[in-house]
Amino acid sequence: MKVFCPNCGSDNEGTPGGRLTCRACTASFEVPRESTGQTQPPPTSQPPPASQPWPGMGGAPPPTHQPWPGLGGSPTGAPRPGGDWGGRSPSEPISTFSTPSTVPVVTNPLAIVSLVLGILCCFPFAVGAIITGIIARNQIASSGGQQKGAELAMVGIVLGCLSLAANLLMTITSIIGR
């Protein structure tokens, strides 16, 4: 017989009059004995047992609901066994604020090094600016958006190339001028 779980509403197969454990939320319930040949739709909500006191609320139970994922419910959104409070007491406050799941984007340190070395304008620093700039741009491209600073690395490469060209030009003119 097809029956719906009174806790989460998922359909299960069970024997009339027997006990059944829901496949979705593992709640245990009794299968009705009478069979009308029709399946009944799942209930929208199940009130908590009347024996539980609700402190701070004048004894009235709070409205029942399906918990949002991440606020104590199961990953599928179905309530956990033991109620839809997910292991918390009903009087415990629920935070509705969530932390962002994205990792902050950071500037690649080699891009900064490339820029600084390019600004220094000396021959060994110019070569270092070009090398670190190329490495930084490759790392930024392969980071999948987790790193930034491609522009800094490019400026470092350009300044390094200009510095290298100026140093070579000065060296050539000093050799020719002797």
User: pLDDT of 16-25, one tens digit each?
Assistant: 888 888 888 8
Please list, in sequence order, all residues whose beta carbon lies within 8 angstroms of the beta carbon of residue 167, skipping any fewer than 6 positions away: 122, 123, 126
Q: Is the pLDDT of residue 33 over 50?
A: yes
Asked whether the beta carbons of 117 and 129 are under 8 A apart, the reply is yes
| Residue 172 token pair | 């050539």
**pLDDT surpassing 50 at residue 114:** yes
Q: Where are the domains of the chain?
A: 1-41, 106-176
Q: Please give the structure tokens belonging to residue 37.
A: 């040949």
User: For 42-96, how does the pLDDT look when each residue is reduced to its tens digit (9 = 90+)?
Assistant: 555 555 555 555 555 555 555 555 445 444 444 454 555 555 555 556 666 655 5
For the chain, what is the largest distance between any 2 Cα atoms, rounded to a whole number of angstroms? 113
**pTM for this prediction:** 0.43
- Cα torsion through 54, 58, 64, 66, rounded to 10: -60
Please give the Cα distance from 105 to 154 (Å, whole number): 18
CA 133 from chain center: how many Å?
Answer: 31
Alpha carbon distance 62, 101 (integer Å):
31
Write out the two tokens for 158.
Answer: 């350009």
The dihedral built from the CA positions of residue 155, 157, 163 and 169, taken in this order, carries a sign that is: negative
Radius of gyration of the chain (CA): 34
- Cβ(1)–Cβ(54) below 8 Å: no
d(CA 24, CA 87): 18
